[in-house]
Chain A
Amino acid sequence: MASTDDALETYTHLPLHIDPQTKQVSILSSDKALQDAVAKINHLHSALKSLETPNNVPPPPLPVNPKRSGNIQKLRESATASVRKGQYADAIRLLGVAIDMAAARPGWEPMGLAREELALMYQSRAAANTGVQNWVEGLKDAECSLECKRGPSNGPNGEKGPGNARAYLVGGKCLMEMGRWADAVQWLEGAIETEGKDGDDGRELVRQLTEARNHVEGKA
């Protein structure tokens, strides 16, 4: 086995090859992990090439390139307008495009931003899905939104950020509409635990929970 110094001074030489024209790295190996790693580097290489920074080096996470954020913001606003007009299918389509765009953000951009954006957009899409009675899609979008953002956040200066109670509300509604009352009770109890009972959304959560509980007890 290699010693500490050895491990840092040596490396395993890999049979790599570079295509001089396309600058693609390839490897003569049947190892799946190695092939994956090389493919990832090629992908990263093409992503880096499209950067406008000097030396094509990824910029520091902050400040953010405002172009993509602006586009996403625009799509989200038009989606909100569609919801207001009752055109839920349009809203779902627009939000889908916006979510894809936000998800295609290059990896080195700040994650907190992506989380905020995705949480909001998944939540709106969940709401739009309930508008056309796509309960399953609505529930899944609510879950995605919660994966992005759960519970009240604390800002860097100790200020309280809003939680994601509305995603819980939408998800709870979907579960109840699908008649999965027991799941709904579980979901809403978790919601109240993380979001608290304060504010309008908190009260709405409590109301939904009592409704779901009544159904469970009525059935039992």
Chain B
Amino acid sequence: MEYLSLLIPIAYLGILIGSMATFSHLYRQRQVNSKLRLAPYFGPHTTRNIYLSLLHLQDQADSSSSSTGTTKVPDSVLRAALLARAVEDIQRIMEVRTRKPALTQLLQRGVVGDEIFQRLTRAEQEMEIELKDVVAEANALAPNWGQTIFQSANEMVQNKVLRDKLDAVKATLPVEKAAWDAQREKSRRELLGVDSDPVAVPVAQSAPGQLSLAEQAARAAAMSAVTSSDDDGVIVESPGSGQPTASTARTGGTGAGAGAGGGKHKKKKGKR
């Protein structure tokens, strides 16, 4: 009887612990399974596939037939492939690093599900192993290359980003150029005859004195000479010098002053 009374609590404990262990085992297995069923975060790693394919191409050639030994992959090609792989890795790491904080926040607010976050963490873990693998491969291909391969790859990625941005800016040039040409043509037709001396008007307005007037006229001439096609200075000079003298005359200054201005201006021109 005493024996039986001891058996009951033991049996109770046994059943309790047993059921808990079974539950936890099943639960964990299901979790692992669901994790395995998660889609990978990134698409196929093309450059890694290429690199490994190249490596194994060599093996195949060695083992299958010695006659086709010419398909041996040169080390330089392997190095290029490995560098491409490192570049892809850097891009992926950057992606993970930029997305993780944002995704954590979204997860805390309950906007996104747990699944996508798990996929990201798994991708991160995979990347760590992948990096170590690349460093080991680099060291095998060239001594001490493992220390610098990711520095190089990083610069390559950054440079590419910059180039892409610049190309994007340059791509908008033809459109804006055409728009501007059309607009300018339009306004030229509107202001036909009026827009001939935009430079001369401010000169006429200020008119502080004869000497500075001449100075300004010379500068205006220089500017118009520069602005029109500047390959042939001699041809440009004749309309350029005509314009400022006309403007000085229009200010109503003395004829002699205008003449002196013109003369001064011509001297300046000669020096240039």
Contact = CB atoms under 8 A, between A and B. Distances in A.
Nearest to A31: B46
A25 B227 contact: no
Contacts, number: 168
A140 B143 CA distance: 45
B151 interface: yes
Contacts of A55: 79, 141-143, 145
A25 B79 contact: no
B155 A86 contact: no
Contact of B126 (A4, A49, A103, A114): A4
Q: Is the interface of A mostly helix, strand, loop or mixed?
A: helix
B173 A57 contact: no
A187 B77 CA distance: 48
Interface string B59-103: 000000000001101101101110110000000000000000000
Given A60-B152, A111-B159, A111-B162, A12 B54 contact: no
Contacts of A20: 70-71
A12 B44 contact: yes
A11 B49 contact: yes
Contacts of B57: 16, 18
B39 interface: yes
Interface stretch (A40-48, A160-168, A189-197): A40-48
Nearest to A139: B176
A171 to B, nearest CB: 11
Nearest to B178: A136
Interface of A: 1-4, 7-8, 11-14, 16, 18, 20, 23, 25, 33-34, 37-38, 40-42, 44-45, 48-49, 54-61, 86-89, 103, 105, 107-111, 114-115, 118, 131-133, 135-137, 139-140, 143-144, 147-148, 178-179
Given A4-B36, A87-B230, A108-B152, 15 more contacts: A1-B37, A4-B122, A20-B70, A23-B77, A34-B46, A41-B77, A44-B80, A48-B80, A49-B76, A54-B142, A57-B142, A89-B231, A107-B160, A108-B153, A132-B227
Interface of B: 36-40, 44, 46-50, 52-54, 56-57, 70-71, 73-74, 76-77, 79-81, 83-84, 122, 125-126, 129-130, 133, 141-143, 145, 147-149, 151-153, 155-156, 158-160, 162-163, 165-166, 169-170, 172-173, 176-177, 180, 183, 187, 222, 226-227, 230-231
9 contacts: A2-B40, A14-B49, A48-B83, A57-B79, A88-B230, A110-B155, A114-B162, A118-B166, A147-B162
Top 4 nearest A-B pairs (CB, nearest first) are: A107-B156, A108-B152, A45-B80, A55-B142
